[in-house]
Amino acid sequence: AVPTRRLLHGAQIPAIGVGTWPLDDAQSERVVADALQAGYRLVDTAENYRNETGVGRGLKASGVERSEVFVTSKFNKRWHGKDLVRPAAERSLESLGLEYLDLLLIHWPNPSQDRYLEAWEGLVDLLESGLVKAIGTSNFKQSHLERIIAATQVAPDVNQIQLSPAATRSSVRTFHTEHGILTESWSPIGGKDTEVLSAPAVLEIARAVERTPAQVVLRWHVQLGLVPIPKSANPERLRQNLQVFDFELSEQQVHELSALDQGESVVADSDAFGH
């Protein structure tokens, strides 16, 4: 079984999950069912991925009990309002065919719209309702986190950010740790824009530990206390990515991987995104 970690507001999150972007409904139904049968217990989707219906079908098709699975979704900027977050959650639940979410995230801060604080206040209210077991943010910078925490005295359970050996985000990670916020890594093996999996240091460590480059990189996340959510549409790679709890990297190897850092995330500033 995948180990779990305890979040700030008490929920238990599996130490690795399966991402579903950019899978469509049909693909995500297949991938989610396959992932759960392979042993994954965390599934990550979003309103913006337009695949919640497929993800929900995959959850049902897997035969795995709802209570055994940690389901995350995220809402778009049109719901950034104190009284809009509940309808946002209800919309996701309807699409997924579920009664509650394990984790709901503000997908992007969208600072030019400047309503992420209201969205956060709405999430804090929603947590009390029981419709969601944990609340968080995605793609928030330290300044955004500081603002919502100062205003509400409530820190997110999770901030999900783009993070890989090529973008280690050490400063925001330190802030997370100080506030008890768990870091989730999206595009944890570097996504399509970097060459993490072919970096000489990764290949060398992979040879040394007799694992694939992707397993080495995912193990690096796990040892740093991050929760990676790799996506693979390929059944063999999907299974491979979960097999990272039966070997260990040395401190030196972790350090060598962290040294691949290229500075700021490859992802453009948050206002370029958001929906």
Looking at the annotation, which residues are catalytic?
A: 49
- Report how far Cα 127 is from the mean position of its chain's Cα atoms: 19
Number of residues located near ligand A2P, criterion CB under 6 A: 18
Per-residue x/- mask for ligand A2P, residues 168 to 207, rule CB under 6 A? -------------------xxxxxx----x----------
Q: Which is nearer to ligand A2P, 19 or 56 (CB)?
A: 19
Instruction: In whole angstroms, give the CA distance from residue 108 to residue 274.
Output: 5
Phi, psi of 66 (to 5 degrees): -50, -45
**Binding residues among 198-257 for ligand A2P as defined by CB under 6 A:** 212, 214, 230-234, 237, 240-241
Based on the number of CB atoms within 10 Å of its own CB, is 272 exposed (0-12), middle (13-18) or buried (19 or more)?
exposed
Could you tell me the smallest distance in angstroms from the CB atom of residue 101 to ligand A2P? Answer: 21
Q: Which is nearer to ligand A2P, 2 or 233 (CB)?
A: 233
**107 is an annotated ligand-binding site residue:** yes
Per-residue x/- mask for ligand A2P, residues 11 to 40, rule CB under 6 A? --------x---------------------
Could you tell me the smallest distance in angstroms from the CB atom of residue 114 to ligand A2P? Answer: 29
Instruction: In whole angstroms, give the CA distance from residue 37 to residue 33.
Output: 6
Which value, in Å, is the radius of gyration of the alpha carbons in the chain?
A: 18
Instruction: In whole angstroms, give the CA distance from residue 43 to residue 53.
Output: 13
Phi, psi of 165 (to 5 degrees): -55, -25
161: tokens are 């950010």
Could you tell me the smallest distance in angstroms from the CB atom of residue 194 to ligand A2P? Answer: 9
Q: Which is nearer to ligand A2P, 61 or 197 (CB)?
A: 197
Distances (CA, A) of 103 to 46, 47, 238, 239, 264: 11, 13, 22, 24, 26
3-state secondary structure of 192: coil
Cβ–Cβ under 8 Å, residues 79 and 111: no
Could you tell me the smallest distance in angstroms from the CB atom of residue 78 to ligand A2P? Answer: 25
Q: Which is nearer to ligand A2P, 139 or 240 (CB)?
A: 240
**Which positions lie near ligand A2P, rule CB under 6 A?**
19, 187-192, 197, 212, 214, 230-234, 237, 240-241
Residue ranges for the binding site? 107
Binding region for substrate: 107
